[in-house]
């Protein structure tokens, strides 16, 4: 009899599927916030796996990322969001609740440079990025062979000043039909319109080939070489309607010397670009980034 009970218990435990949830939240700082949030999770059957918080003393603002597990049979993400909403309103919080197990659907935008695209696809196929890539979009056909190698549909929307509004509308329709969550600009050499950006607020990640705010706009390596800088870098940021001024997610640098040519800067810079963009994608898709005005809080 005891053996039968043990087997039944084990079978029941196997059927209990644990759902991993992530809460990102910010609000005005006040005493007891961590306690209240932790109590809510406990009261709804959750078990906290990690908790990271930060208080911006200058702005008196509180930020937190909490990851916890809960039995999927006990509550759904939708129900839990509805139950959490009154508490969020009470503390006047900006928040989002995510299912960690659900991968974001990403569209990659490219032009003619392949280094960032190759890095993303390598990490994607190695299982390092929590994304699905249903399509790649470009304004040129040059990199279609790479998409073919990875069996990812490649769509070309040629751009001119006159055709841009119409082409962007087609792109948005395509993105909507594929339920795209995030857009990755992997050296996409087009400036997106304000209307386009408005459809994906804080969901468009760009890589800029300089250490912003230095050398905004085109030809940053040329500018850096002419200025004789000793450090070059790359910056990944969210796209806004202000060119290259969106909240920064990730940055890195490489040292250079007076002996190096502009081509040397480009070669070194492309290596940094690849790593910086990959790290930014990983942070965004694992829900580790909170935007606060023109800045970001990126939890480890």
CATH number of the domain within which 28 lies:
3.30.70.260
Query: Which CATH number does the domain housing residue 290 bear?
Result: 3.40.50.170
What domain range includes position 177? 104-298
> Is 35 found in the same domain as 120?
no
Helices 262-285 & 220-227 angle (0-180, nearest 10):
130
> Is 128 found in the same domain as 82?
no
Question: Is the CB of residue 108 less than 8 Å from the CB of residue 186?
Answer: yes
The one catalytic residue in 29, 79, 242, 244 is: 244
- Residue where a domain terminates, one of 43, 65, 99: 99
- Residue where a domain terminates, one of 71, 99, 127: 99
Give the pLDDT confidence score for residue 13 in this predicted structure. 46
Give the pLDDT confidence score for residue 216 in this predicted structure. 73
Instruction: Give, in order, the Cα–Cα distances in Å from 90 to each of 200, 257, 280.
Output: 28, 55, 32
- Residue where a domain terminates, one of 83, 99, 115: 99
> Is 179 found in the same domain as 227?
yes
> Is 110 found in the same domain as 84?
no
Report how far residue 87's alpha carbon sits from residue 140's, in angstroms, rounded to the nearest whole number: 49
49-99, pLDDT tens digit by residue?
999 999 999 999 999 999 999 997 778 899 999 999 999 999 999 999 999
Q: Is 244 a catalytic residue?
A: yes
Total tally of structural domains belonging to the chain: 2
Flag residues of the chain having pLDDT under 50: 1-2, 4-6, 8-15
């Amino acid at each position: 009899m005891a053996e039968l009970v043990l087997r039944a218990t084990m079978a029941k435990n196997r059927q209990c599927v644990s759902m991993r949830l992530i809460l990102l939240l910010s609000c005005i700082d006040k005493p007891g916030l961590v306690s209240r949030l932790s109590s809510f999770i406990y009261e709804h059957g959750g078990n906290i796996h990690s908790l990271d918080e930060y208080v911006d003393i200058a702005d008196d603002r509180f930020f937190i990322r909490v990851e916890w597990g809960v039995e999927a049979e006990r509550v759904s993400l939708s129900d839990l969001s509805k139950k959490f909403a009154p508490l969020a309103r009470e503390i006047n919080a900006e928040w989002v609740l995510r299912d960690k197990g659900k991968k974001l659907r990403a569209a990659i935008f490219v032009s003619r440079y392949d280094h960032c695209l190759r890095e993303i696809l390598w990490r994607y196929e190695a299982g390092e990025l929590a994304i699905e890539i249903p399509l790649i979009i470009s304004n040129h056909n040059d990199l279609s062979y790479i998409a073919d190698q990875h069996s990812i549909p490649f769509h070309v929307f040629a751009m001119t000043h006159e055709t841009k509004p119409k082409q962007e509308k087609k792109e948005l329709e395509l993105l909507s039909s594929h339920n795209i969550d995030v857009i990755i600009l992997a050296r996409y050499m087009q400036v997106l319109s304000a209307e386009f950006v408005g459809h994906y607020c804080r969901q468009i990640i760009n890589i800029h080939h300089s250490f912003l705010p230095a050398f905004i706009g085109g030809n940053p390596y040329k500018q850096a070489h002419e200025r004789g800088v000793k450090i070059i870098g790359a910056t990944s940021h969210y796209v806004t309607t202000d060119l290259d001024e969106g909240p920064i997610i990730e940055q890195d640098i490489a040292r250079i010397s007076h002996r190096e040519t502009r081509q040397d800067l480009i070669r070194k810079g492309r290596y940094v670009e690849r790593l910086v963009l990959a790290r930014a994608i990983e942070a965004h898709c694992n829900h580790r980034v909170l935007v606060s005005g023109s800045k970001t809080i990126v939890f480890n």
